[in-house]
Structures are given as structure tokens and as C-alpha cells.
Amino acid sequence: MANRLAFLPTELNSSKLYREELIEFEWVPGMAISQGRKSVKNLHQAAKEQLKVSEILEISTRSQSPLGVALSAFNLKLQVLEFVSTVEIAYQSSKVFEGGGPYVDIFGLTSLQAKKDPRLKDSGNLVEFHFENRIWPLTASPNFYDYLYIRGLLDSGEIENIVRYEAFTDLAFSQNSLKQKNGKSFNCQARSAAIFVSLLSRMQVNQISSFLEKSAIDETGSTEQLKLFS
């Protein structure tokens, strides 16, 4: 058996923009995508029973849904200045470490190459992010990854399809992943998707990007507003 988190949008009267539920399910061992998809099937079956929902989307390259694969950070397109990138590439190329960065040449790599670039592990502790001539602190709320991923969703043309889902999962993201993020940048595409759906019920589509930027960077943002993402 294994445990994974499912992320759900919240009601308008909630003090947060997402909620997470731990789901226990039967894990199917093996590195092949086909094995991963079997685990996803088991995860979703257990989640539907526990959460009393019918529509769950796995967002990853292991997803059984073409939409879930397309919305993976490895595939989700993002316009960055004059570049058309992916969320993964934009995220990795914006990291600033104690010993170097941002490594903007990562824009010339594939998503997988970007994630595995050795400099990201050999440059010391992560300090902040530099993106489009702005500095994003690690303590920003929402965090930098939420902003990037949701910006990608806004440009995806898939909003009507995304809002059909009641919960989101990412098989690669476990409780151990959450613990390892202690003091680091938190990133989970399933969580970001749940936040996005919650935002859509609270404001106009064209207000979301500016709301996220203000919440993360503007120090005058209210404590109540920032707690929405915690």
C-alpha cells in the first residue's frame, strides 16, 4: 500500500484556496509508464470512495488522460518574454543559488534536461527566483511555482475542461516530497491546479495573474490574503 495527496478546490467561504486529503491505495511497482498508470487508477478509485467525488485528474506524464499529460509542467507551454517555454524550463531557469544562477541557458534545453541540469544541485542552497526582471522570494505566498503554473493554465485554452474536475493528483508527489520541501520552494502541479479552480470561482479570469503577483510580491498584501495559499 502507498499514500498520496489529493488536492481539491475550496468553497467561496473557505479561508484557503485548496484542501489536501491523504489517500491510501494499492501501489503497482515498476518504472514503466504503464505501471505508473495502474497506480494512478488505483489511487483515483480509492480517492473517489474516500472523497465522494467522481471527477479526478492526474496531472503528470503518467496520466491516463491526454489533458493530464498536456497539463504536466513538462509539457504545459508558457510565454516568457520572447521565448515560448514550458513551466518546468521557466521554473528551473529562474532559480538563484548561493553559488550561482539564474542559469538562463536552460531555456535552450528540454524539460527533462532542465530538471536534471547538474548545476541545480551543485550551486548551494536556493536563495530566490529571478523571472522577467523581477525577484521572487522563497517566502512568497503564493509561491513562484504556483504563479508560473497558473499562468500556463491561463494560456492553455483548457479552462473549460479543467473546471470539470473536483480533485487533482500527481503520483510523483508524496508526503515525503512535502517534508523535503521544509524551508525550500514548494511545488506541486496538482495543488496549483486546485488553487486555480478556486480562483476562477472568486474572480474574473483576467484578474488572476495580477492577483497572484500582488499577493506574492507586494508587501502591502493583507495577512488574510496570504493565508489563502498556506
> Tens of pLDDT along 120-133?
999 999 999 999 99
Q: What pLDDT, on a 0 to 100 scale, did the predictor assign at position 230?
A: 61
Q: How confident is the model at residue 215 (pLDDT cuts 50, 70, 90)?
A: confident
Instruction: Calculate mean pLDDT across residues 87-103.
Output: 97
Residue 218: strand, helix, or coil: coil
Name the more confident of 187 and 120: 120
With contact defined as beta carbons under 8 Å apart, do 17 and 198 qualify? yes
| The C-alpha cell that represents 93 in the structure block | 531557469
- Is a pLDDT exceeding 80 seen at residue 225? no
Instruction: Calculate mean pLDDT across residues 167-190.
Output: 74
Q: Considering the chain, what percentage of its residues have pLDDT values greater than 90?
A: 74
Dist CA 5 CA 21 (whole Å): 5
Q: What Å distances lie between residue 61 and 4, 32, 72, 152, 154, CA to CA?
A: 16, 11, 6, 16, 20
Dist CA 85 CA 189 (whole Å): 16
- Is a pLDDT exceeding 50 seen at residue 221? no
- Spatial neighbors of 230 by CB under 8 A, at least 6 apart, are 16, 141
- Is a pLDDT exceeding 90 seen at residue 178? no
The pLDDT tens digits of the residues spanning 30-87 come to 989 999 999 999 999 999 999 999 999 999 999 999 999 999 999 999 998 888 899 9
The domain ranges of the chain are 2-227
Which has the minimum average pLDDT: 123-132, 152-161, 208-217?
A: 208-217
Q: How confident is the model at residue 213 (pLDDT cuts 50, 70, 90)?
A: confident
Q: What pLDDT, on a 0 to 100 scale, did the predictor assign at position 222?
A: 47
Q: What pLDDT, on a 0 to 100 scale, did the predictor assign at position 175?
A: 66
Q: How confident is the model at residue 227 (pLDDT cuts 50, 70, 90)?
A: low
Q: Considering the chain, what percentage of its residues have pLDDT values greater than 70?
A: 88
Q: What pLDDT, on a 0 to 100 scale, did the predictor assign at position 140?
A: 72
Instruction: Calculate mean pLDDT across residues 184-212.
Output: 90
- Is a pLDDT exceeding 80 seen at residue 152? yes
Residue 221: strand, helix, or coil: coil
Q: What pLDDT, on a 0 to 100 scale, did the predictor assign at position 214?
A: 81
Q: What pLDDT, on a 0 to 100 scale, did the predictor assign at position 137?
A: 87
